Amino acid sequence: MRSFYAIKGIDLQKYCGIAIVALTVFVYAGYASAQTILTISAAASLKETLAETEATYTRSHAKIKFANNYGSSGTLLAQIDQGAPIDVFLSAASKPMDELSAKGLLASGTRLNLLRNSLVLIAPIGSTLHDFQGLTDRTVHIIALGDPASVPAGQYGRQTLSALHLIDKINAKLVLGKDVRQVLTYVETGNADAGLVYATDARISKKIRIVSIAPESSHDPIIYPVAVIKGSRNEQAARDFVQYLSSPVAQSIFLKYGFTSYRP
């Protein structure tokens, strides 16, 4: 006896199964196309600021979602260089961006100097440290610094300590952090008697105090560049977001967290 589903030579059961699979694929594809996920690699010092900036952006760009990857700029550079699928890179220094540019890994015309920051000496709340020269005191046993090999804040910090003729005197006291937020944590927890971080990092903590601001002349300018990575699967969306970061709305968020706008 013919199957109930076989009408005029058509196996409707098989046909309906294929249709359901096709509909599922169609619905999934439609959902995927409705959502664009931008993968952002950003310096650890941008964590809170970038999260708020993205939240503001998605209010008017509901189809955009973000996947953030935070770390030291040098580590993020290495990941991108090795082929990590990144759409946008925000660095805490020009050098990592220069290296990507030299290798042809930046999308044409997207690099933009976005922000500036300051470097500060911090200590736990109860510390009696009062200036950079105090780092040589016997009461200061451990000084936290970002690893200069990959952390821009560590590079700026080492430049500052050298300019102030302190590096040789305190070199044995240095403990290196994987990024600027680890340095902050060392000081917050009392595992370090002092540390060098960005002013914006110091502002988010109630467990430390700013001892002194590093003279601008003691280190390279602290500039945060941003660019779209060449080969991004969402290049136009990435370009639009990078442009938004320099808008008055986005800049006001950065300023609230203590950054300053970049000006040549």
Assign residue 171 the CATH number of its domain. Answer: 3.40.190.10
> Is the pLDDT assigned to residue 22 strictly greater than 50?
no
Q: At 14, is the secondary structure helix, strand, or coil?
A: helix
Domain tally, the chain: 2
Same domain (yes/no): 128, 213: yes
Residues 98 and 141 in one domain: no
State how beta strands 36-43 and 64-71 pair: parallel
Residue 118 is predicted with a pLDDT of: 98
Residue 90 three-state SS: strand
Query: Is 183 strand, coil or helix?
Result: helix
Instruction: Determine contact, residues 201/119, Cβ cutoff 8 Å.
Output: no
Confidence band, pLDDT 50/70/90 cuts, at residue 34: confident
Element of type H or E holding 113: strand 112-116
Range of the domain at 243: 35-116+224-261
Average pLDDT, the chain: 90
Whether 148 has a pLDDT exceeding 90, the answer reads yes
Residues 228 and 211 in one domain: no
Residue 13 covered by a domain: no
Residues 112 and 229 in one domain: yes
Map tokens 């804040």 to a residue.
Answer: 153
Does 134 lie in the same domain as 110? no
Tokens of 13: 């059961």
Q: % helix / strand / coil in the chain, to the nearest 5?
A: 45, 25, 30
Q: Which residue has the higher pLDDT, 121 or 8?
A: 121
86 in any annotated domain: yes
Residues 112 and 128 in one domain: no
Residue 212 contacts residue 231 (beta carbons within 8 Å): no
Structural domain ending residue among the three candidates 218, 233, 252: 218
For 138, which DSSP code?
Answer: T
**Residue 196 within any structural domain of the chain:** yes
146 shares its domain with 195? yes
Question: Given 218, 235, 251, which residue is the final one in a domain?
Answer: 218
Q: Is 231 left (phi over 0), alpha (psi -120 to 50) or beta?
A: left
Which runs of consecutive H residues, i.e. helices, occur in 35-176? 47-60, 73-81, 94-102, 152-163, 167-170
Whether residue 168 is predicted with pLDDT greater than 60 in this model: the reply is: yes
Residue 169 lies in a domain: yes
Q: What is the pLDDT of residue 33?
A: 55
CB-based contact 121:196 (threshold 8 Å): yes
Residues 254 and 212 in one domain: no
Instruction: Look at residue 17 and tell me whether its pLDDT is greater than 60.
Output: no
140 with 214, same domain? yes
Residue 112 phi/psi, 5° resolution?
-145, 130
Q: Is residue 14 part of a domain?
A: no
pLDDT (0 to 100) of residue 7: 34
| Residue 213 and residue 124 share a domain | yes
Looking at the structure, do residues 174 and 251 belong to the same domain, yes or no?
Answer: no
Amino acid identity of 222?
I
Give Cα 14 to chain centroid, integer Å.
Answer: 51
**171 CB-near residues (< 8 Å, 6+ apart):** none
- Does residue 30 sit within a domain? no
Structure tokens at 60: 């008017």
**Residue 5, in any domain of the structure:** no
Residue 108 inside a domain? The answer is yes
- DSSP string of 187-220? HHTTSSSEEEEEHHHHHT-SSEEEEEEPPGGGS-
| pLDDT single digits (tens) 86-137 | 999 999 999 999 999 999 999 999 999 999 999 999 999 999 999 999 999 9
| pTM of this structure | 0.84
136 and 210 share a domain? yes
